[in-house]
Amino acid sequence: MSITAVTIRLRVNPAACDGFGYCAELLPEIIDIDEWGYPIVATEPIPPHLLELARRAVRDCPRQALLTERLPPARRT
């Protein structure tokens, strides 16, 4: 029997980002900011309990530079 798990991670488009830092205020558990105010996003999948907050951060990004990315399912046996 195999179980598939869908994972989602956060990404930032550095070309679109203006470094407002608003995303880090909304989601400090996953997003840090560098010395210029640009986001540093964790590469790990978003924990399920933070998924709705991550979606809000994506929605509220003033430059629409933040996005969620669905990773291919991991197969476990």
Residue 73: per-residue pLDDT: 77
pTM, entire model: 0.81
Dump pLDDT digits (tens) for 11-38: 999 999 999 899 999 999 999 999 998 9
- Give the confidence band of 72 by pLDDT, cuts at 50, 70, 90: confident
**Does the pLDDT value for residue 65 go beyond 50?**
yes
**What are the sequence ranges of the domains in the chain?**
3-76
Is the Cβ–Cβ distance between 18 and 44 less than 8 Å?
no
Q: What is the average pLDDT score of the chain?
A: 89
Classify domain 3-76 at the CATH topology level.
Answer: Alpha-Beta Plaits (3.30.70)
Is the Cβ–Cβ distance between 64 and 16 less than 8 Å?
yes
